[in-house]
Amino acid sequence: MTAYILMAVIAYLIGSISFSVIISKKMAGFDVREKGSGNAGSTNVLRTVGKKAAAITLICDVLKGVIAILIAMIIGNIFKNVDKELIVQIAGIAVVLGHTFPIFFGFKGGKGVATSLGVLLMSNWQIGLICLVFALVLMVLTKMVSVGSCGAAVLFPVLTLFINENYTVLNEGKSGKVYFVYSVILAIIVLYNHRANIKRIMSGTENKLSFGKKENN
């Protein structure tokens, strides 16, 4: 139990490092949450700061998920009585929650997509790549990042029903039932964070991605 709690805390604190806020303040002199959509994510950084800042933010947010899972693997190997798959899943959920509700930044964070991608690529790189490609295709077709993000979130649990052997980086080949529940939890977090976007998509008022000049509002 100690190992699970320790991992949850570590992953949550890693997730709580809001690179979008740090980078926007460093490169543009303002908190990205005070501009554009008000979201602490790479898409809002792209719109309000620029491509370079957005790329750095995206990479850092993905790495948060990657690092959290790597630490979970290390702890899983140190503590002999720990379920290695369970501790990886706890880390994945905790780091995404940290990104969404960062303790260091007033619990106002991003929507967890990039960090979830890092978690997913480490947990199951095959499913991760499929979800990434699917999201990119939807983004290109609709020019809406939220459509790609939500589409990938929905696809993730569906894929676990078909790709359920050797499904973790640990390759222990256990039943995919627990992993399916894990995938549903991550999907719900992402979809919940996009609830306002989903309403705008349904009403046809969702913002479309533009690679033109950054917004100044």
How confident is the model at residue 144, as a pLDDT? 94
Q: Is residue 210 pLDDT above 90, yes or no?
A: no
Q: Tell me the whole-structure pTM to 2 decimals.
A: 0.89
Residue reference for tokens 């980086």: 169
Per-residue pLDDT, averaged over 189-213, amounts to 87
Confidence of residue 209 (pLDDT cuts 50, 70, 90): confident
Domain boundaries of the chain, sorted by first residue: 2-203
The per-residue pLDDT for range 58-76, each reduced to its tens digit, is: 999 999 999 999 999 999 8
The per-residue pLDDT for range 120-179, each reduced to its tens digit, is: 999 888 899 999 999 999 999 999 999 999 999 999 999 988 875 544 444 444 556 778
Cβ atoms of residues 92 and 169 within 8 Å = no
For residue 123 the two structure tokens come to 């947990």
How confident is the model at residue 154, as a pLDDT? 96
- Per cent of the chain over pLDDT 90 is 75
How confident is the model at residue 208, as a pLDDT? 86
